[in-house]
Amino acid sequence: MERRTLLSLLAGGVAGLAGCGTPDGETETPTPEEGTDAPTATPTPEARVERSLTLWNPTPDPVFTTVVGVRGDRDVFFENRDLVPGERAALSVSVPTGETAVLVETDSGLRARSEWVVDAAFEGLEVVLGRDGAAFWQTVSCDARGECSLAAATPDDGPRIDLPLVGDGSARWYAPAGVVVENAGPETTARLRIDLGDASLVDRAYRVPTGARLSIPVTYRSGTYRVAVETDERRVETAWPVPDQPTKYVDVSSGTTGCGPANTTLTVANRDDEPHRLSLRVDAAGGGESFDRTLALDPDEARELVPVTTSGPHAVSVSLETGAATSGTWWSCPPRGPASVVVDATGTVSLRAAGPQPG
């Protein structure tokens, strides 16, 4: 049994025994005379609401995760989950209104804490697990053409286009690609515009509080979209290739963009029964420093590398001493899992991406 569960049960047991006996030196409460009613205190039920709690493990490692909501000296919810790499578990919890402490611990040694203030404008809390820490976001999903609890202005008067856009037959995936506007800084108002070709799909302003993550489902259609986010402090414009980037993230506090907290682990494996000398080059997205290394791999040897530190499209080039070679783009964007470079039993080398693939 989990230690916190045991402590909770013990605390409940102690509370249940209160009043069953009288300690030495104390006076028993007199029994009311017949015909009189003893005053009773009726506890006031605690107001609670149902909210979503999402646990996301974008790391390349499976983790056993415990998350606890604490109000005062008692647990108000308690959840355990085994999360495989890349898994996103959506739970429903009953949370008291007001402020609740959220404690997260994993079997990898991660411990993190945050305060969750239940707000009617948000649907729930998302906990993003890393190897060294965790991020906590209050979340809400908005229909770009309908009502939204964080909308700060009405849509424009231009032609209405039903969203999410239907597919064009060139690719399939099970959830619409979307844009996430997040804010790690002070509350601000952000105007979001999304275009495809000459068509304006979204043009709307939103209130984005501190620690908020606003998700807008947009499309099932392949293409390169234009995303612009403008606040009083800055304007950010970026291309959004769909379905290569299933979700485009924009942080209004820093102006940074990306495709989410994907893991950046690359496994290099030699499945041949002969040793190989493998040359690997990875050029990080955004023009960062290149990773260039030559590895001597024994038969059935595998190594885990972290050649980049950010998610996005990374150019990968691989060659063997035999002349076999391959190249491609490693899109380290959720929901994809870890990528791998594999030498198979025929001496052929390939680049592979784990996890579900849009398109």
Query: In one letter, which amino acid is 142?
Result: C
Tokens 């893991």 belong to 263
On the 0-12 / 13-18 / 19+ scale of CB atoms within 10 A, 47 is exposed
Q: What is the pLDDT of residue 34?
A: 55
Mean per-residue pLDDT over the chain, rounded: 85
CA nearest to 61, candidates 314, 338, 311, 305 = 338
| Inter-residue contact 236 to 196 (CB < 8 Å) | no
Q: DSSP string covering 56-72, please?
A: E--SSS-EEEEEEEEET
Query: In one letter, which amino acid is 178?
Result: G
Share of the chain above pLDDT 70, in %: 83
| Inter-residue contact 242 to 221 (CB < 8 Å) | yes
Q: What is the pLDDT of residue 341?
A: 97
DSSP lists the bridge partners of residue 135 as 128
Lowest model confidence (mean pLDDT) among 37-41, 93-97, 227-231, 257-261: 37-41
Q: What is the pLDDT of residue 46?
A: 73
Tokens 């229909």 belong to 143
DSSP lists the bridge partners of residue 219 as 165, 177
Q: What is the pTM of this model?
A: 0.80
pLDDT for residue 158 is more than 90:
no
CB-based burial, 321-357: b 16+ in 10 Å, e otherwise:
eeebeeebebbbbbbbbbbbbbbeeebebebebbbee
Name the residue with higher pLDDT: 270 or 337: 270
* Top-tier CATH class for 266-352: mainly beta
Q: How far apart are alpha carbons 297 and 282 in whole angstroms?
A: 18
Q: How far apart are alpha carbons 335 and 164 in whole angstroms?
A: 19
HSE (side-chain half, CA atoms, 13 Å) at 228: 12
Q: What is the pLDDT of residues 239-252, one digit of tens each?
A: 999 988 999 999 99
> Of the ranges 36-45, 169-178, 249-258, which is most confident?
249-258
Band of pLDDT at residue 125, cut at 50, 70 and 90: very high
Q: What is the pLDDT of residues 2-37, one digit of tens each?
A: 444 433 433 333 333 233 333 333 334 444 455 555
Domain boundary assignment for the chain? 48-155+175-258, 266-352
